[in-house]
Amino acid sequence: MNINVLGALNVLKFAKRCENVNIIAHVSTAYVCGEGEGVIPEKSFSLGETLNKDTKLDIDVERKVIEDKLKEIEAQNLTTKEVTMAMRDLGIQRATMHGWPNTYSFTKAMGEMLLGHYKENIQLAIIRPTIITSTYKEPFPGWIEGVKFQEIRW
């Protein structure tokens, strides 16, 4: 939540304060559109939209759920590993409730929603790679070869 959702929003807020920024390129993931067989449409999300058409997403509610769960498990004096597992389970539960397969694609989708909703006069290019990998050492640290992505422009 802090990195993929609020981090994206913080970048936008910063860009709005910059005098000469007209466009933001946001790296997301192709999996924000869900998983399945056949053609999966690449489209932008409206704030509150979900892959599960039976639910409505309220990002403030999701933040509150996380905050409440953290308070609950902190009171239990759990180990760091137990806290991590409990929060991972909560994330997966919330993601699947709204139709996403995992917390990563769920939070990336929320980040896209906030950017699209609050962008105002800034152009937004969302890049959705299917996979990003890099090397540890050879030919040099961070080398990425053959990146494949789809781009959505608003």
pLDDT digits (tens, 9 = 90+) for 36-61: 788 877 788 899 999 998 999 999 99
The per-residue pLDDT string of the chain (154 residues; one tens digit each, 9 = 90 and over) reads 999 999 999 999 999 999 999 999 999 988 898 887 888 777 888 999 999 989 999 999 999 999 999 999 988 988 999 999 999 999 999 999 999 999 999 999 999 999 999 999 999 999 998 876 667 777 777 766 654 444 455 5
Is this structure's pTM higher than 0.85? no
Written as one string, the DSSP assignment of 80-133 is HHHHHHHHHHHHHHHHHHTT-SSHHHHHHHHHHHHHHHH-TTSEEEEEEES---
The residues carrying an active-site annotation are 104, 108
What pLDDT is recorded for position 134? 67
C-alpha to C-alpha distance for 85 and 59, rounded to whole angstroms: 22
